[in-house]
Structure 1
Amino acid sequence: MAHQDAPQPGRRDFLYIAAGAVGAVGVAGVTWPLINQLNPDASVLALASIEFDLSSIEEGQSVTIKWRGLPVFVRHRTPTEISEAQAVPLSDLKDPQTDQQRTKEGHEQWLIMVANCTHLGCIPVGESGEFGGWACPCHGSQFDTAGRIRKGPAPTNLVVPPYEFVSDTLVQIG
């Protein structure tokens, strides 16, 4: 006679599989909220990028806007400021960057920078200092008309955030 050695599935096997499935769903139900809480909240995501209309800024004028909770300088530079910034030899700079590296091609008149001194995070005062750019009142760092560090304890230039021109008068930061 033929004898079959494989046991037939029964109620006990079904209970093992059902308990395992319920346990897996329970672990996923507990783990998901823990992982999801690491995501940024809606207010941060809303500030991730902003659009700003440049048409109201006249030549030689600066405005300060807010992006991701940080102040950002937007300056409409004069041709004199641009030529002064382009004429500076890189050997005179603590953190060498050309003016072209700090602006967008075709839009050299617009300088957009995070308005925090790279020394201790103070907000520099515009159109001041020996170089006609920005000066940090706290520790004396001085930046030129391209936001490059020229004098003082700041280790690097003012930070240029990621931005692009949507049109001639509209810029998207972030």
Structure 2
Amino acid sequence: MASSSIPAGGHVDPTRRDFLMVATGAMGAVGAIAVAWPFINNLNPAADTLALSTVEVNVKAIPVGQAITVNWRGKPVFIRHRTEKEIKEAEAVPLSELRDPETDDARVTDTAKKVRREWLIVVGVCTHLGCVPLGTKQGDPRGEYDGWFCPCHGSQYDTSGRIRKGPAPLNLAVPDYLFTSDTLVRIG
């Protein structure tokens, strides 16, 4: 007759049963993770996408008072070479007048903590509904504050990219950027 693991009284040791249940559940969880991992890993960005996470721009050709738009992570980024007048106007604004208070110096400081007042670099997406404000091309309407104007709903930004009028709740975002030389800036 075959030997049985059940004792003669018919009762199974509860600690052994609990151990077998926990071990079976753990093995099932490990198996599920092993099957799911390739699918989860497939959601990571591709190498070519990661390569586009930074962009380098030579700002030498941007005349004072002009701006250019570059593409970074699928968004427009405005790089503006500000005039002395624009810098003075931005610095003179009392923080109490701003909906999203931020000093001009905080908006023109790169990741190395170097202040470059003549260069303003902001993500060109209105913080209201994601429109692209006007003000980077000669002749664009810049609103009452000589910065950027969003024609969709009337948001107006000053020469530091701070919201001054309209429905937008926040300033234009400042991306991480670093001047690697006097004329070369890396965004991202």
If the TM-score is normalised by the length of the shorter chain, which range does it land in? 0.7 to 0.9
Question: SS where residue 44 of structure 1 aligns?
Answer: helix
Question: SS where residue 91 of structure 2 aligns?
Answer: helix
Structure 2 length-normalised TM: 0.75
Specify which of 146, 153, 156 is matched with residue 170 of structure 2. Answer: 156
Question: SS where residue 146 of structure 2 aligns?
Answer: coil
For 2:143 and 2:90, the matched residues in 1 are separated by 15
Query: Percent identity among equivalent residues?
Result: 61
Residues 51-70 of structure 1 correspond to what in structure 2 (within 5 A)?
51-70=56-75
Q: Which amino acid aligns with 1:37?
A: N
Displacement of 1:113 after TM fit? 0.4
Question: SS where residue 125 of structure 1 aligns?
Answer: coil
What is the root-mean-square deviation of aligned Cα atoms in Å? 1.9
Displacement of 1:31 after TM fit? 3.7
Structure 1 length-normalised TM: 0.81
Gaps of 5+ in 1: 1-22
Residues 72-151 of structure 1 correspond to what in structure 2 (within 5 A)?
72-104=77-109, 105-126=114-135, 128-151=142-165
For 1:51 and 1:168, the matched residues in 2 are separated by 13
For 1:31 and 1:122, the matched residues in 2 are separated by 38
Displacement of 1:107 after TM fit? 1.3
Displacement of 1:141 after TM fit? 0.4
Displacement of 1:110 after TM fit? 0.4
Residue-by-residue CA offset, 1:26-79 (whole Å, 9 max, x unaligned): 877634421321211233212111111111111111000000000000000001
Does the 8 Å CA contact 2:105/2:115 hold for their aligned counterparts? no
1:40 aligns with 2:40: no
